[in-house]
Amino acid sequence: MLEEGSVSGASSGASSPEPEEPFIPKFKVQFSDNVNKDGDSVKFTLQVLQDGLMSHVLEREFEDFEYLDHCVSTGQASRGLIIPPIPQRSAIDPYNAEIQSKRLMGKGSKTLIADEFHKDCQQLQK
């Protein structure tokens, strides 16, 4: 006879746990192909889905993503948190155009390579 608090040889169900339910995210964020240029800023359009239904449509500048990425990556490490990469800076950004032009011409060059304005306009109209 077993005393109170003693363990018998029977196995408990702890060694074979039941399978966990699959992970279902509460929100899904998608980048649309709609990129708008407003003066010197480039704006990206985000679609936020909640429970598979369209919840919000947001417009954000590239600098917003850089700031958010900086805050998340330099803060406390969160184990198991997957942080997706930020979108690439668009080729129509004037800052990138100047850097690319200087790289092609050389660091000491004072001239800039002409851009392909008509191609950029066509890309924005799509």
This model's pTM is above 0.75: no
What would the pLDDT profile of 6-33 be if each residue is shown by its tens digit?
Answer: 455 555 555 667 778 887 788 888 877 7
* Residue 2 falls inside a structural domain: no
3-class DSSP assignment, residue 51:
coil
**59 neighbors 43 (Cβ within 8 angstroms):** yes
The residues near 71 (Cβ < 8 Å, ≥ 6 apart) are none
What would the pLDDT profile of 80-114 be if each residue is shown by its tens digit?
Answer: 777 778 777 665 556 666 676 667 776 666 665 56
Within this chain, do residues 98 and 67 fall inside the same structural domain, yes or no? Answer: no
Burial grade of 62 (CB within 10 A; 0-12, 13-18, 19 or more): buried
Beta strand 41-50 with 27-38 is: antiparallel
For 78, the token pair is 């969160």
Q: What range defines the domain where residue 51 resides?
A: 26-75
Within this chain, do residues 94 and 125 fall inside the same structural domain, yes or no? Answer: yes
